[in-house]
Amino acid sequence: MLPFIRSGAARARGRWRAVAYVALCVSVLCAFAAPSTAQTAQELVREGLAAKERRQYPYAILLFDEALRRGEFGPDQRGLLLYSRGVSYEALGLRDRALGDLDAAIALIPQFSNSYVYRALIWTNRREFDRARDDLMQALRLNPDSALIYNNLGSVYEYKGELDRAIENYGAAIRLDPAYAQAFYNRAHAFIARQDYQAAMADYDRAIDLQQEFAEAYSNRGGVYLLQGNAERAIADFGEAIRLRDSDPSFWTNRANAYLALRRYKEAISDFDRALEIDPGSAGIYLGRGRARIYSDEISAAVEDLQTAVRLRPSNPYPAIWLHIARVHQGYADRQELEANTARVRRDQWPSAVLDLYLGNVDTGRVRQLAEEGNAPQSAMRLCEADFYIGEFLTHNGKTPDGRLILQNVMAKCRLADVVFSAASAELSQMIQTK
């Protein structure tokens, strides 16, 4: 798991930018600006475009509906109106209606690149990435000097896992527009996926230079600092993101995880508290706060948080695992609870095998074998987790020397950013205190 979380807006559309909507006065719709004392079709269009600019999408759609109903427009004008209404539908999340309008707009004015760009956005939201790519390639043929289209195409390739092509297209966007902060931000995300943290850091630096109040860039740069083991710089960047937009729970959660990496539990719990005030239904935040409370001697509160996380995400193995760890620290015999929680967990998800270890159904070797499956970065992260869970298990099941050695290995080989790093440190510290 990455130690930082992209904001809700960034997760949904952060790497994607649709065409900047203008009043289309470069098009034949300019003719609709002619003044009139009556509510003519032209006035309806003009008012509809203004409403769309104000993000009054339902009102804009009503105006476009009436203008289209009157049927006073030629093919190009009608196509641009359908495009405008489709954009408004897409903004409201009514993507089936938006797709119908954009299809019609493309049929009427196939040379208008914006329609392809917006239709590609819908395909992307539906995870039909090949269709999105094809539409963006067509848009590029019509408008080959558009940095925005290259940027969007880079996002599609990134979603497809084709990182080299993604980086190439983000680079093309930057060459066309060297002040394109979003393209630097997006390329940085692709570099992270390729584990090129130095290149990612350089792109986040440039994005922030270009856009001083780019909260997501500060937050993601903080994530890179944490991946590089610099928790203090990470905390500073997460704090700047919070200063710029304190309503985003992911920024508070990111800083909480950085505090957790340093075992600064009081500060971590405070940030998790704030994140839950903003997003009270987040299983991930309950999970994070529960972990912090295990090692800050708030064990009953930790159990409550982790039980909530299990209720919210019963098929996810992580809440069930950490609830069991909390129960072990509590000295509570949780066999029945553990069996019930394990029965609801998806068996094809890592690290569900750890629950089988706790129940005595598999041995430690099998857990490590399953952890090694997958690509190299994924298996390295899984092995860190597997070793922590195994070390913690042995420590609390009469094999403390073996468990201690494994936990020491976690601290030697795993990253500060890995959740289990600070947990291993806390477990080892507790062993020293109980000697």
Summarised one tens digit per residue, pLDDT across range 170-221 is 999 999 999 999 999 999 999 999 999 999 999 999 999 999 999 999 999 9
Mean pLDDT of 85-99: 97
Going by the DSSP 8-state scheme, the letter that residue 349 receives in this structure is S
Q: Of 99 and 26, which is predicted with more confidence?
A: 99
pLDDT digits (tens, 9 = 90+) for 103-149: 999 999 999 999 999 999 999 999 999 999 999 999 999 999 999 99
Instruction: Please give the backbone phi and psi of residue 250, each rounded to the nearest 5 degrees, phi first.
Output: -65, -30
Q: What is the pTM of this model?
A: 0.87
Whether the per-residue pLDDT at 34 is higher than 50: the answer is: no
Whether the per-residue pLDDT at 72 is higher than 90: the answer is: no
**What is the signed CA dihedral for 353, 356, 360, 364, rounded to 10 degrees?**
10
pLDDT band at 325 (very low <50, low <70, confident <90, very high): very high
Mean pLDDT of 365-394: 91
pLDDT digits (tens, 9 = 90+) for 233-281: 999 999 999 999 999 999 999 999 999 999 999 999 999 999 999 999 9
Q: Which residues are CB-contacts of 359 (< 8 A; sequence separation ≥ 6)? A: 338, 339, 342
Judging by beta carbons within 10 Å of its beta carbon (0-12, 13-18, 19+), is residue 330 exposed, middle or buried?
middle
pLDDT band at 375 (very low <50, low <70, confident <90, very high): confident
Task: Catalogue all structural domains in the chain, each as residue range(s) with its CATH number.
Answer: 34-143 (1.25.40.10), 363-435 (no CATH)
147-159 helix and 181-193 helix, angle to the nearest 10 degrees:
20
